[in-house]
């Protein structure tokens, strides 16, 4: 399941550089997470790094993108293959 950033975001800029998949970017008003790139840090870390650094705890799982750990690992592998190409 990909993560999402809620409107409680204070634009503190700490989450974006922590994302190993470059899934976080500035949206029209707050940061957003691209669900096609978010693996919840599966393949990189044991826990999502953006969640670890967020001072206002505004990064829950996105209920619109239900994925198993295996699917997240598959997405990670696809993203890594695309980087290598």
pLDDT of residue 79: 95
Pick the closest to residue 73 from 40, 51, 49 (CA basis): 40
Architecture of domain 16-84: 2-Layer Sandwich (3.30)
pLDDT of residue 1: 80
DSSP reduced 3-state for 31: strand
pLDDT tens string, the chain, 85 residues long: the values are: 899 999 999 999 999 999 999 999 999 999 999 999 999 999 999 999 999 999 999 999 999 999 999 999 999 999 999 988 8
Which stretches does DSSP call E strand in 1-85?
A: 24-26, 31-33
């Amino acid at each position: 399941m990909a993560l999402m950033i809620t409107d409680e975001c204070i634009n503190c800029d700490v989450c974006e550089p922590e994302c190993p998949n470059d899934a976080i970017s500035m949206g029209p008003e707050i940061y957003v997470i691209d669900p096609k790139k978010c693996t919840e840090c599966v393949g990189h870390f044991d826990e999502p790094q953006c969640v670890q650094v967020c001072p206002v705890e505004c990064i829950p799982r996105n209920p619109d993108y239900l994925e198993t750990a295996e699917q997240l690992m598959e997405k990670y592998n696809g993203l890594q293959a695309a980087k290598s190409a």
